[in-house]
Structures are given as C-alpha cells and as structure tokens.
Amino acid sequence: MSARPAESSLSTGDDLYIGPTLLAPGAPENPGRIWGMMLGPLFAVFIACIVFFYVLFVPIAADGDSMLPSLRDGERILITRSYKSPTRGDVIIFDGHREDGSPVGMIKRVIALPGDTVEIREGIAYANGVPETTQSRILEKNGRGEGQQAFTVPDGHLFVLGDNRPISLDSRFIGPIPLSSVRGRAVFIMFPFDQFGKVE
C-alpha cells in the first residue's frame, strides 16, 4: 500500500493576503483610516488655537507712534486677557480718552503703582525716588511735559507714560488711570516678522 501525499490546505489558484511579513510588507493604508487618525490631532490643534487666541490672549494692532521704539504703528501684538498684578515697566492696553474726551484704546508703560510717589525730571520718571528701569526704551528724554512735581498715585490707579515722551498722551495729561480700565498686558510682537519677539 502506498501513501498519497497530503493535499495543501491553501488554494494555489488565488492569492491570499495573510498580513504583512518581511517578504510582503502589506497592502497600502486605507485613506479613510489615515484621515481618522489625523482628525483627533487636528481637532486638538484647533481647540488649542481657540483657547490661545480667544481665552488667554487676543491679537491687536498698535495704532500710532507714542510707544516708539518699543512698538511701531501697525505692528500686530498679543495681549493677555487677564492682568491683575501690574508691575512697573509693563506695557499695558487700557480704555482711555483722547484730549477731546472721546474713548480710545491706549498702549502705555506702567511707571508707578497705587501708593507710589512719582515725579518726572528731565523726561525721566522716578517712582519713590528710583528712576525707571526702562530708560533705554525712551525715544527722547526731553520735550512735551518733561517735568512734573512729585505726587502720590491714588489707590486703584496706575501712572503710565509712552516711550515716545514728546508726543505721548499719557498720565502727564490725562492723570492716573483706573486699574479697572486695563484690558491686558502686551507680551509678544507677531508681525512684521523682523520685529518678531517679546515686548520689552
């Protein structure tokens, strides 16, 4: 009696894909599956952008030259939405008024805090007898309103100045500003790209 060879359990007439191997890397990825894998990260980036630009920060455009050379007219900057602890030297955005009384958003530098004694001598501001630490940012140290006698900043207010002292409409003329009028702090210049970086 002779033995008959066992028949193969695999058909030789059709190709059968059994998964990727070293010799057969496998079929191409399903485009629908790729899109499904990308959808999660894209959604996460979208949510992060919303939180960044509409919850934590807001982009605005600088208007005017009162903060030269720190900020230039037309620059796009990011400001914080929450700002409850002002510090001397910070650049802030607040709701102010023009000399004719009309409302306007203003960008200035914090010079003195509530309770500080502030004075201006030859264009340099002194808070409690200490000169401002950002003197290198001042475009001109003399000019419009270069001197001011010492006085104490009221509670709940800030004393602010523009870096371009000769043309800036600031606390020398509109008085100390209420803390409640502050919208946020300028933190970053986004455009133009040659000015890209932190607001100093």
- Just list the catalytic residues: 66, 108
- The answer to whether 98 and 191 have CB atoms below 8 angstroms apart is no
Give the containing element (helix H, strand E) for 183: strand 182-191
- HSE-up of residue 97 (Cα within 13 Å, Cβ side): 10
Alpha helices (H) in the chain, listed in sequence order: 31-50, 171-174
Listed in order, strand segments (DSSP E) in 34-116 are 57-61, 76-80, 91-97, 103-112
CA distance 16 to 116: 84
